[in-house]
Amino acid sequence: MAALLDVQNLSTRFNLVAHTVRAVEDVSFTLNENEILAIAGESGSGKSATILSILKLIQRPGEIDGSSRILFDGKDILRMSEPELNSLRGKSISMIFQEPSASFNPLFTVGAQIAEVLRAHLRLSKTESLCRAAEVLAQVHIPNARERARDFPFQLSGGMLQRAMIALALACGPRILLADEPTTALDPTTSMRILELLKEKTQGAGMSMIFVTHDLEILSGFAGRIMVMYAGRIFESGPACSVLEDPLHPYTKDLLAAVPRPGVFKDTGRLYSIQGRVPEAGNRPPGCAYHPRCSRATELCRTEEPALIQKNSSFVRCRLHV
Ligand SMILES: Nc1ncnc2c1ncn2[C@@H]1O[C@H](COP(=O)(O)OP(=O)(O)OP(=O)(O)O)[C@@H](O)[C@H]1O
Ligand SMILES: [Mg+2]
């Protein structure tokens, strides 16, 4: 069966005056019906640029390479007309933005903005759409949803605004939800309830999801597959249980070792953190981009970039597995 979304050789760059940032480089993956695919990696690894590219939301000086293909139901999103894109965005594929200000206009109430999306895509009447807006706000556990719907974005707390964004993205029952760190502003209990709600939607309501996070800990039992990115490239991808329990790439191992766990201070007196830092944008080291931070790097890793190779049901970009 063909995948619902098929991303082929996606490359996205930002052409700055001083240098070009290769934010996403030759990234290919698929998303199946009812699947949750997580994209994980440190800050600046290209997670947001990847999912913004899927809805063709990259703005100048950003540019998606002409050889990239993003097939949704067999049709290439990157070659759709503006009207086609407008009917796709928010309806068939919706997005929870990392930045709350990207979702809401400060001049209109939250309820009115959700209602407008419902009217535009589902052709509901004004009264029906306002009622439905309050319902979707209640669904994401916003108390007194009817009153909150009459609030302006600045009147909601950070956590409530994040939940309102989730409500906006779910309002039209999308086939694909692109969720960019949707629970970062939430307390752990609310975060768990939202993750449960999102998971439910991928089971009952026939939704698929790409879930972006830097927090690998929450993915166990949640994501079906995980794709780990570093410096714009896929470094490892595979079934969530393999990536979390039996990681192949030294980078994935380091990321997992850096997850804070209860009692960690008791053992060593301090938290583990990966040595060095993510390469500066536009100044990527030659060879494997991770070699300056990798404890297993060899001379060859410093000069030659490894290819992404298959190992059992996973893919890994590391010479250790050749
Ligand atoms: N509008 C832009 N202009 C210039 N460079 C950009 C722009 N957006 C992203 N970049 C660069 O592209 C690279 C990838 O950025 P991206 O936002 O995709 O990272 P990310 O993995 O989502 O990080 P984070 O976890 O911090 O959200 C970074 O080097 C970033 O500085
Ligand atoms: Mg991001």
What does the pLDDT read at residue 266? Answer: 59
Mean pLDDT of 182-207: 87
Which ligand 1 atom minimizes the distance to the CA of 229?
A: 21
**pLDDT level of residue 53 (50, 70, 90 thresholds):** very high
Task: Return the higher-pLDDT residue of 5 and 285.
Answer: 5
Tell me: pLDDT of 204 over 90.
no
Which ligand 1 atom minimizes the distance to the CA of 61?
A: 3
The amino acid that residue 130 corresponds to is L
Tell me: pLDDT of 271 over 70.
no
Residues with CB under 6 A from ligand 1: 14, 16, 21, 23, 41, 43-49, 62, 98, 214, 281
What does the pLDDT read at residue 269? Answer: 63
How many A from CA of 44 to the centre of ligand 2?
A: 7
How many A from CA of 127 to the centre of ligand 2?
A: 36
In angstroms, rounded to a whole number, what is the distance separating the alpha carbons of residues 66 and 81?
15
The region of weakest confidence among 73-77, 93-97, 149-153, 263-267 is 263-267
Mean pLDDT of 30-57: 96
- Please state the pTM of the whole predicted model: 0.94
Task: Return the higher-pLDDT residue of 147 and 2.
Answer: 147
Tell me: pLDDT of 47 over 90.
yes
Task: Return the higher-pLDDT residue of 121 and 100.
Answer: 121
Tell me: pLDDT of 301 over 90.
yes
Task: Return the higher-pLDDT residue of 278 and 309.
Answer: 309
**pLDDT level of residue 148 (50, 70, 90 thresholds):** very high
In angstroms, rounded to a whole number, what is the distance separating the alpha carbons of residues 282 and 47?
17
Which ligand 1 atom minimizes the distance to the CA of 52?
A: 18
pLDDT tens, residue by residue, 113-142: 999 999 999 999 999 999 999 999 999 999
What does the pLDDT read at residue 321? Answer: 85
Task: Return the higher-pLDDT residue of 214 and 52.
Answer: 52
Tell me: pLDDT of 315 over 70.
yes
Mean pLDDT of 149-159: 92
Tell me: pLDDT of 91 over 80.
yes
Residue whose Cα lies nearest atom 3 of ligand 1: it is 14
Mean pLDDT of 248-260: 91
The answer to whether 177 touches 170, Cβ cutoff 8 Å, is yes
**pLDDT level of residue 146 (50, 70, 90 thresholds):** very high
How many A from CA of 49 to the centre of ligand 2?
A: 7
Mean pLDDT of 270-279: 76
**pLDDT level of residue 274 (50, 70, 90 thresholds):** confident
Mean predicted lDDT score pLDDT of the chain: 92
Tell me: pLDDT of 264 over 60.
no
| Pocket perturbation via mutation, ligand 1, pick of 24, 45, 210, 211 by most ligand atoms within 8 A of CB | 45
Tell me: pLDDT of 262 over 70.
no
Mean pLDDT of 221-232: 96
What does the pLDDT read at residue 242? Answer: 96
**pLDDT level of residue 265 (50, 70, 90 thresholds):** low
Tell me: pLDDT of 272 over 80.
no
What does the pLDDT read at residue 275? Answer: 80
